[in-house]
Chains A and B, each alone.
Chain A
Amino acid sequence: AEDTGVRVELAEEDDCTKSSIALRLWVEDQKKLKGKYKDSGAIEFAFDLDTEVPETVAQEMVDSGFFLEIDVKIVGKSIRDRVSLIKWRRQRSASARN
């Protein structure tokens, strides 16, 4: 996947059963973001794989003041890429069990 400069990873072991998972996001390469990333921390949050949309969470982060509106797409894409990978891994392990 394209390097967005934003890292998103699992904040807990994926047991492949819960739809809600904990994710952790942080800026790895500030040059990739157009706006100035104001926080030096990692943001941990719960995400429901079945019902939630990555871009909505990205907008909530903007609304909370973590990022500027101009970076909402790059944040949303970063979350979407990770969520896609998690879903793919789950499907793969489910088909391996069958």
Chain B
Amino acid sequence: SQSLVIQNEHLRVTFDPNTGLLQEIENLDRGLRLPVSQAFYWYNASSGDFMHPQVSGAYIFRPAQTKPFLLRHWANTRLVKKALVQEVHQNFTAWCSQVVRLYPGQRHVELEWTVGPVPVGDDWGKEIISRFDTQLKTNGRFYTDSNGREILERRRNYRPTWDLNQTEPVAGNYYPINSRIYITDGQIQLTVLTDRSQGGSSLRDGSLELMVHRRLLLDDNRGVGEALLEPGDWPGTGLVVRGRHLLLLDTVEAAAAGHRLQAQREALAPHLVLAPMGQGTPYSPG
């Protein structure tokens, strides 16, 4: 039960030795420590009920219950510690794994998740989320970006321009995330950068979640005329999706500079072109 820790000059990431799940992030430069647990959950997609026939589909996210199912309480882990990278490979199930990674000099924790093919043999559509839980007192507020530029404050079960009668406690609090979502208690800020647009929310104080994959079985009656099933390539067992979430822990004062520059590096990441060696021929535009 030795503790599972990866670190570089700026960050230390600790995992629960019994479950293999993320347990704490430490910003060594600022002396900040934040207990953070992260796991994958799934919402059972609604197939309509006696109150409302509305089904969860391509246009409409509507989970059947407000409480998502935890994918697994623990993960098989493998620790890789090298000079140029430290990473913990987490295997949750046959269709969900993640690598938590730190490179030297990096000021964010990289979580590379791989989800799919989502099994639907039980006739339940599933909407998979990655959820981060902390003790931060966020007072019902969280922050999401709009196209990577403006940051909007969101308040649970509230709309700034009309009196909201909240009928969907989960979906009614989901917002589009183009590049980042963050929560703060006024001192410490936890930011998650995404590498693509996702749905996200903070449904409890100190918690934030991002939807990484969906596999549905029914049409939501908005015109598509088919379920969001995404069979993927042959044999059509379902799309496998891989992406990355970057975690930044900082003081509120310093957080913006950190996530804005990192988001630029993420959106305009360098491009790699390869070539065999020694086969070049001189070439001048003339």
User: Are A and B subunits of one complex?
Assistant: no
